[in-house]
Amino acid sequence: MAVKKAAPKAEKPDSLDAVVGHIEARTAAGRSTLAIFDLDGTLFDNRTRTIFILREISEQFDSKVPGLAAAFDRFQDLAVVDYSLETTLARMGVKHPAETAFIKAEWAKRFFSDEYQKYDMPIPGAKSYVCRVHRAGATVIYLTGRDVGRMLVGTTEVLRLYGFPVGVAGTMTIVKKEFEQSDELFKKEVSDYIDRLGEVAAVFENEPANSNILQARFPDAASFFVLTQHRPDAPRLAAGIHKIKDFRPPKGARR
Ligand SMILES: [Mg+2]
């Protein structure tokens, strides 16, 4: 008896361009595709938000934060901003524990709020790439660990401000109901819902843990890891995930 062979699977797209081509082909075939984009560290560089906030704290509380105020006597390179605020402050010469604790509290109030998200800077090429994916016919899903109570309005505002597709057909913003929920658990749970919506064509992340979870959950999707900042205690990135610096086309292809 002849053994029935499974139909060969279509090749997974292995580049940013190939993802767009794949989505176009699936759209032409009448299929629904999805592209999942994380925000912090994936589409946006948050270091500018932190620098802006620290600058504001140094001006508002000048005498209370002498170390920070002194740091702003010098020009600050964005490279000073680490994933950890404590490391950033140490690099800036803020050494007094009480000052550090005070700054951390003031920073957190601002960083996790609607008002300060506009100080994020889009990752190079991110806006035009998301627009291409959207135009190709995929539903763009912004899947972020930001929370609905404090950050949804600012998130929407910033996406619109920088020209990302948002609020229109073919887009979806999914945030956490509660800030306290772990990012990994949240993304795992939401994946079941996303799976029912259509074929996930591509996933974009900057946290190795999330990248690994999403790749395991959507093995047929192309998976991209943006080399920005991530948790220091992150696991190793699983095999088959493509590392990208940003969303710009490869050098030779740039107009
Ligand atoms: Mg992120």
- What would the pLDDT profile of 179-219 be if each residue is shown by its tens digit? 888 888 898 889 999 999 999 999 999 999 999 999 999 99
Q: Are residues 169 and 210 in the same domain?
A: yes
Q: Is residue 3 part of a domain?
A: no
For 239, the domain range is: 16-45+120-253
| Of 201, 247, 198, residue with least CA distance to 226 | 247
Give the per-residue pLDDT at 153.
Answer: 98
CA atoms within a 13 Å half-sphere pointing along the CA-CB vector of 41: 20
Q: 214: CA distance to ligand 1 center in Å?
A: 13
Lowest mean pLDDT across 11-15, 104-108, 127-131, 167-171: 11-15
- Take residue 177 and report the two structure tokens written for it: 């109901």
For the chain, the straight-line distance linking the first and the last C-alpha, in angstroms and rounded, comes to 57
The larger pLDDT score, comparing residue 164 to residue 10, is at 164
Q: Is residue 247 part of a domain?
A: yes
Q: 205: CA distance to ligand 1 center in Å?
A: 6
- What would the pLDDT profile of 212-255 be if each residue is shown by its tens digit? 999 999 999 999 999 999 999 999 999 999 999 999 988 766 55
> What is the 8-class DSSP label of residue 40?
B
127 pLDDT exceeds 70? yes
Q: How far apart are CA 248 and CA 19, in angstroms?
A: 14
Q: Are residues 25 and 81 in the same domain?
A: no
Region 113-135: mean pLDDT is 97
With beta carbons less than 8 A apart as the criterion, state whether 179 and 145 touch. no
| Of 110, 104, 102, residue with least CA distance to 150 | 110
Q: 147: CA distance to ligand 1 center in Å?
A: 13
Q: Are residues 130 and 208 in the same domain?
A: yes
Q: How far apart are CA 200 and CA 33, in angstroms?
A: 6
Q: 188: CA distance to ligand 1 center in Å?
A: 14
Q: 93: CA distance to ligand 1 center in Å?
A: 27
Give the per-residue pLDDT at 171.
Answer: 98
Q: 61: CA distance to ligand 1 center in Å?
A: 30
Percent of the chain with pLDDT over 70: 95
Give the per-residue pLDDT at 32.
Answer: 95
Q: Are residues 149 and 209 in the same domain?
A: yes
140 pLDDT exceeds 70? yes
- Take residue 121 and report the two structure tokens written for it: 């800077």
Give the per-residue pLDDT at 5.
Answer: 53
CA atoms within a 13 Å half-sphere pointing along the CA-CB vector of 185: 7
Beta strands in the chain (DSSP E): 33-37, 44-45, 121-122, 139-147, 171-176, 199-205, 222-226, 242-244
Q: 38: CA distance to ligand 1 center in Å?
A: 5
Q: Are residues 128 and 31 in the same domain?
A: yes
Q: Are residues 217 and 138 in the same domain?
A: yes
Give the per-residue pLDDT at 25.
Answer: 97
Region 59-87: mean pLDDT is 92
Q: Are residues 96 and 195 in the same domain?
A: no
241, 246, 252, 255 alpha-carbon torsion, rounded to 10°: 140
Q: Are residues 139 and 225 in the same domain?
A: yes
Q: 211: CA distance to ligand 1 center in Å?
A: 10
With beta carbons less than 8 A apart as the criterion, state whether 224 and 242 touch. yes
Q: Any bridge partners for residue 223, and if so which? A: 203
10 pLDDT exceeds 80? no
Q: Are residues 181 and 71 in the same domain?
A: no
4 pLDDT exceeds 60? no
Q: Are residues 24 and 102 in the same domain?
A: no
Give the per-residue pLDDT at 252.
Answer: 67
Q: What share of the chain is helix, strand, coil (3-state, %, to 5)?
A: 45, 15, 40
Q: 45: CA distance to ligand 1 center in Å?
A: 10
In the numeric block, the tokens 């499974």 are attached to 6
- The total of structural domains in the chain comes to 2
- pTM, to two decimals: 0.92
Averaged confidence pLDDT in the chain: 93
Give me the residues near ligand 1 (ion), CB cutoff below 5 Å: 38, 40-41, 206
Q: Is residue 140 part of a domain?
A: yes
Give the per-residue pLDDT at 250.
Answer: 80
8 pLDDT exceeds 70? no
